[in-house]
Amino acid sequence: MFDRFKKKKQAEPDFDAPLSPEADKFLADACAEYDPKSDALLQGEWRLSSSAGWGFDDSTGIVQVEFADCSRWQAAGQILGSYSSDDQTWEWAWNSPHVDESLSRDSRAVRELGDRLGIAYLQLPGFPVPDTKFVDYLCGIAIKATDSAGVMEAESGPVVVFIMLKDLRWTHGAA
Sequence spans of domains, the chain? 51-172
pLDDT for 15: 62
Question: CA separation (Å) from 23 to 2, 18, 168?
Answer: 37, 10, 29
Q: Which pLDDT band, with edges at 50, 70 and 90, does 12 fall under?
A: low
How far is 132 from 101, CA to CA, in rounded Å?
A: 26
Question: How do residues 16-58 score in pLDDT, each as one tens digit?
Answer: 778 999 999 999 999 999 999 999 999 999 999 999 999 999 9
pLDDT of the residue at 111: 97
Read off the pLDDT of residues 112-167 as tens digits, 9 standing for 90 and up: 999 999 999 999 999 999 999 999 999 999 999 999 999 999 998 999 999 999 99
Gap between the Cα atoms of 48 and 123, Å rounded = 30
Q: Give the span between the Cα atoms of 17 and 24, in whole angstroms.
A: 12
pLDDT of residue 8: 46
Tell if the pTM clears 0.85, that is, is over it: yes
pLDDT at 173 over 90: no
Q: What is the DSSP string of 98-117?
A: TS-GGG-HHHHHHHHHHHHH
Over range 72-97, report the average pLDDT.
97
Q: Which residue type sits at 88? A: Q
Residue 67 three-state SS? coil
Give the pLDDT score at 1.
44
Classify burial at 77, counting beta carbons within 10 Å of its beta carbon; exposed 0-12, middle 13-18, buried 19 or more: buried
Say what the pLDDT of residue 174 is: 67
